[in-house]
């Protein structure tokens, strides 16, 4: 593997660093780039008002979002006390990568003084050197002389990296521009946002009165680089839905940008925020990391950015949903679900449904979540089930309660002469479903007809499609899983063998008197 090593104070890291890194990755054919922020550089002191080591590390991580190559940020020098000598760092990296081709990347000033560094012979025995050239007219001659010197004196391998898109900017230039409100164009977006929210380098941004455009880089600074495309995609989708369904576009953008602002925090950090903000948690939330970021994110959004109650609620409920969601809450829940970078089975159908009917799309999304959690063996938060059930009960003529669907399935079975139809309410016993509908077919042909009729009637009367099917058509047992109800059709032998009524004997048997034999 060919690995580039790019060190510096990165105080702060800027677009000049990134264009150089991209040029090296392309021209040297790097498989991986290691960025190494220095602690106390031996050749200079950090100026007053500099970012702390941990802040420079965080900004460097954020900057990798704009690199095309695989990149990793190391804190190897920040953990070392005293001055940061390159030779010490390279010894450690050579031990970590004993068989890989290492390239030490550096700017022209550093390259031209490399022979005078601490232990240059060690450095040049451990790595090859990639030196960034500038466009200056006489630099080729100077570079050639230094290259020859290093090769002859130390046996070095040196390559010149032609930085064709060089950005002539220094960290000093950036630090000077920022207090005047300039400098954004010199920095990766998330790095600029981090500087503003941490009030670094003389900036003094009022975080409570930001437009969406001003908020965007700051929101990105809260994220891991790999999550940034998702949040930007959620913002774009939230705008589309807000325009289509008449919601406040600005509030939709703000909620989308901040909905994952605490997503990267570990459980310990999430719980600390919950304690800080007085957030009450149920038993499941105390153990489920994925459920916490919506609550802590909403609290941070209100505390740090002063968001409205509507935006607060949209962030708060974007993970679980809840009964009777507002328009903005529905939009953020679904924008998070279907934004353009999402790619999972059924997402295209979900997107079409959401843009055809928001409530139908919300119901489909909630059912998909419930089914996914069931398949993974994970508990389902009560708010998600209650959100689904609220829509079924209040969403209009095409939406039915779980009990309505169970009775509808029972009547569809009865229409095709199924035997011994039973409906069991198991809501309080399991998360598998709210109702089991069980019936017997006298032959494989009849089992086919029974299953087909259930699917047809639930589709025509309620717009429902099974989320999952088990068993073989024409076989001895078929299961239709609709999320809130599960329909089991057996032949007599297999019904007795599986004994579902006995296994779920603690369930409540629904009285079907007056139900079967009647049309809805």
Confidence band of 46 (pLDDT split at 50, 70, 90): confident
Count of other CB atoms within 10 angstroms of residue 177: 17
Confidence band of 135 (pLDDT split at 50, 70, 90): low
Measured in degrees and rounded to the nearest 5, phi and psi for residue 133 equal -95, 150
Instruction: Give the span between the Cα atoms of 402 and 387, in whole angstroms.
Output: 13
DSSP tag of 490: E
What is the predicted pLDDT for the residue at 392?
82
Q: Considering the entire predicted model, what is its pTM?
A: 0.77
Does pLDDT of 80 surpass 90? no
More confident residue, 476 or 461: 476
Tokens 């529905």 belong to residue: 330
* Residues 6+ away with beta carbon under 8 Å from 173: 186
What is the predicted pLDDT for the residue at 432?
85
Mean pLDDT of the chain: 92
Does pLDDT of 139 surpass 80? no
Give the mean pLDDT of 160-171. 85
What is each CA distance from 242 to 39, 301, 323, 331, 377, in whole angstroms?
A: 47, 20, 20, 7, 34
Closest C-alpha to 5, from 127, 159, 114: 127
What is the predicted pLDDT for the residue at 22?
95
Beta bridge partners, 479, equal 470, 488
What is the predicted pLDDT for the residue at 520?
40
Confidence band of 399 (pLDDT split at 50, 70, 90): low
Instruction: Give the span between the Cα atoms of 317 and 329, in whole angstroms.
Output: 7
pLDDT digits (tens, 9 = 90+) for 9-30: 999 999 999 999 999 999 999 9
Confidence band of 134 (pLDDT split at 50, 70, 90): low
pLDDT digits (tens, 9 = 90+) for 408-461: 899 999 989 999 999 999 998 988 899 999 999 999 889 989 999 999 888 766
What is the predicted pLDDT for the residue at 137?
53
User: In percent, how much of the chain has pLDDT > 90?
Assistant: 76
What is the predicted pLDDT for the residue at 141?
84
Burial class (CB in 10 A: 0-12, 13-18, 19+), 49: exposed
Burial class (CB in 10 A: 0-12, 13-18, 19+), 518: exposed
The full set of domains in the chain, from first to last, is 2-173 (3.40.50.620), 212-394 (1.10.3210.10), 402-509 (3.30.460.10)
Confidence band of 152 (pLDDT split at 50, 70, 90): very high
Give kind and range of the element (H or E) at residue 101. strand 101-106
Closest C-alpha to 485, from 416, 422, 441, 394: 422
More confident residue, 174 or 463: 174
Min mean pLDDT across 183-187, 214-218, 363-367 is at 363-367
| Sign of torsion over alpha carbons 44, 49, 52, 56 | negative
* 209 CA to centre of own chain: 26
What is the predicted pLDDT for the residue at 473?
58
The 8 Å CB, 24+ separation contacts for 246-251 are 246/327, 247/327, 247/328, 247/331, 248/310, 248/328, 250/211, 250/212, 251/308, 251/310, 251/311, 251/314, 251/328
More confident residue, 344 or 101: 101
Give kind and range of the element (H or E) at residue 32. strand 32-37
Instruction: Give the span between the Cα atoms of 305 and 215, in whole angstroms.
Output: 9
Does pLDDT of 325 surpass 80? yes
Instruction: Give the span between the Cα atoms of 100 and 322, in whole angstroms.
Output: 53
Confidence band of 340 (pLDDT split at 50, 70, 90): very high
Instruction: Give the span between the Cα atoms of 124 and 116, in whole angstroms.
Output: 12
Min mean pLDDT across 143-152, 225-234, 398-407 is at 398-407
Does pLDDT of 519 surpass 50? no
User: In percent, how much of the chain has pLDDT > 70?
Assistant: 95
Instruction: Give the span between the Cα atoms of 335 and 42, in whole angstroms.
Output: 49
What is the predicted pLDDT for the residue at 193?
98
487: left (phi over 0), alpha (psi -120 to 50) or beta: beta
């Amino acid at each position: 593997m060919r690995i580039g090593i790019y060190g510096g104070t990165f105080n702060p890291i800027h677009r000049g660093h990134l264009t150089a890194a991209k040029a090296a990755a392309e021209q040297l054919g790097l498989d991986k780039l290691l960025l190494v922020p220095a602690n106390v550089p031996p050749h200079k002191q950090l100026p007053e008002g500099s970012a702390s080591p941990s802040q420079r590390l965080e900004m460097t991580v954020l900057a990798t979002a704009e690199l095309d190559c695989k990149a990793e940020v190391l804190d190897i020098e920040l953990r070392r006390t005293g001055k940061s000598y390159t030779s010490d760092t390279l010894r450690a990296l050579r031990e970590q990568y004993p068989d890989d081709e290492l390239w030490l990347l550096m700017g022209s000033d550093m390259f031209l003084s490399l022979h005078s560094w601490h232990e240059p012979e060690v450095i040049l025995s451990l790595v090859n050197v990639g030196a960034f050239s500038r466009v200056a007219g006489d630099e080729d001659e100077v570079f050639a002389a230094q290259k020859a010197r290093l090769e002859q004196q130390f046996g070095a391998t040196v390559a010149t990296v032609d930085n064709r898109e060089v950005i002539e900017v220094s960290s000093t230039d950036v630090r000077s521009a920022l207090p005047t409100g300039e400098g954004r164009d010199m920095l990766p977006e998330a790095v600029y946002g981090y500087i503003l929210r941490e009030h670094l380098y003389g900036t003094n941004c009022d975080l409570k009165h930001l437009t969406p455009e001003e908020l965007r880089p700051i929101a990105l600074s809260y994220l891991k680089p790999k999550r940034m495309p998702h949040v930007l995609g959620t913002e774009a989708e939230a705008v589309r839905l807000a325009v289509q369904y008449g919601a406040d576009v600005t509030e939709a953008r703000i909620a989308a940008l901040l909905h994952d602002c605490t997503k990267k925090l570990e459980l310990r950090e999430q719980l600390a925020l919950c304690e800080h903000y007085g957030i009450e948690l149920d038993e499941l939330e105390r153990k489920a990391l994925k459920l916490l970021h919506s609550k802590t994110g909403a609290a941070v959004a209100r505390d740090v950015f002063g968001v409205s109650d509507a935006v607060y609620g949209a962030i708060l409920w974007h993970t679980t949903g809840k009964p009777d969601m507002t328009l903005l809450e529905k939009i953020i829940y679904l924008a998070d679900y279907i934004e353009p970078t999402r790619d999972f089975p059924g997402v295209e159908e979900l997107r079409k449904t959401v843009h055809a009917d928001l409530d139908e799309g919300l119901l489909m999304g909630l059912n998909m979540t419930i089914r996914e959690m069931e398949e993974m063996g994970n508990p389902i938060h009560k708010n998600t089930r209650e959100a689904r059930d609220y829509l079924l009960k209040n969403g209009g003529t095409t939406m039915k309660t779980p009990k309505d669907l169970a009775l509808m399935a029972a009547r569809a079975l009865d229409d095709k002469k199924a035997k011994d139809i039973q409906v069991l309410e198991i809501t309080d016993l399991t998360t598998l479903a709210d109702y089991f509908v069980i019936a017997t077919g006298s032959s494989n042909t009849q089992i086919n007809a029974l299953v087909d009729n259930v699917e047809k009637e639930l589709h025509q009367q309620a717009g429902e499609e099974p989320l999952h099917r088990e068993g073989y058509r024409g076989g001895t047992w078929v299961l239709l899983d609709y999320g809130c109800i599960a329909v089991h059709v057996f032949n007599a032998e297999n019904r007795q063998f599986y004994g579902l009524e006995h296994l779920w004997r603690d369930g409540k048997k629904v009285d079907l008197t007056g139900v079967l034999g009647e049309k809805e």
